[in-house]
Amino acid sequence: MSEAIARDIVRRIGAEELAPGTQLPPEAKMLEEYRVGRGSLREALRILEVHGLISIKPGPRGGPTVDQVHTENFGRMATLYFQMDGVTFADLVEARVIMEPTIAALAAQRHDPQLLSELGRFAGSSSTDDDEYARDADEFHRLVAAMSGNPVMTLFAQSLTDILRDRLSPPLFPKSRRAAVLSVHDAIAKAVTDGDASRAEELMREHMTEYAAYVRRRHPGLMREVVDWR
């Protein structure tokens, strides 16, 4: 019963296009609508809360509120299945090496004019601050994934990044290598902007292959570990 209620609430959020921050009906109204006990309703809401789809605020003016969907929540859920299936961090890195070049090629093919202007802000980037560099590098890959136009690829690729970021010491590359990394990002951005899918794919494959090699050298023990449920 609780799962059926949870599915109905999700359908309602999608059908009514409820924006993050929208408050759902109060408990009394939902109990009347679904004609179930308080325990079943609260369990349904707890299912959605655990998956990061809603948050429940306490107090007289509180209640269930629609949350922003984050790839971190999907990745957190995926780690449970990864752990049960014996997936290692090396497997996650390999998956990124396979997926990211395809995503870059799709981004160049799609050539979305609205997102191209956003991609332009990475041109000539030379950040030396650790936090700013890590943030820009992550945002670059996130934006290229969004430009692919395939929400499934975007979700999977970014969730893998989120899981790895949780265990890898950011920023990954040392300061001596950052200029080269930013230069590669700039070249990939240009290929995507020019609509050159083969060039974008080639550059991203080289970039991710180097990334994978560096991760293996810096974190050899971690690569053998099974992904743990977060």
Neighbours of 82 (CB within 10 A): 21
Q: Give me the CATH code for the 2-66 domain, please.
A: 1.10.10.10
Cis check: omega of the bond before 171, within 30 degrees of 0: yes
Structure tokens at 12: 């309602």
3-state SS class at 91: helix
- Separation CA 141–CA 72 (nearest Å): 15
pLDDT single digits (tens) 200-219:
999 999 999 999 999 999 99
How many residues appear in the chain?
Answer: 230
Give me the amino acid identity at 146: A
Domain boundaries, the chain: 2-66, 72-224
| CATH architecture group of domain 72-224 | Up-down Bundle (1.20)
Identify the three-state secondary structure at position 43.
helix
Residues 6+ apart with CB under 8 A from 135: none
Mean pLDDT by 10 residues, the chain (230 residues): 96 96 94 96 96 89 90 94 98 97 97 87 72 87 95 95 86 79 92 96 97 93 95
- The pTM assigned to this predicted structure is 0.87
Phi, psi of 55 (to 5 degrees): -125, 150
C-alpha span between 80 and 68 (Å, rounded) = 22
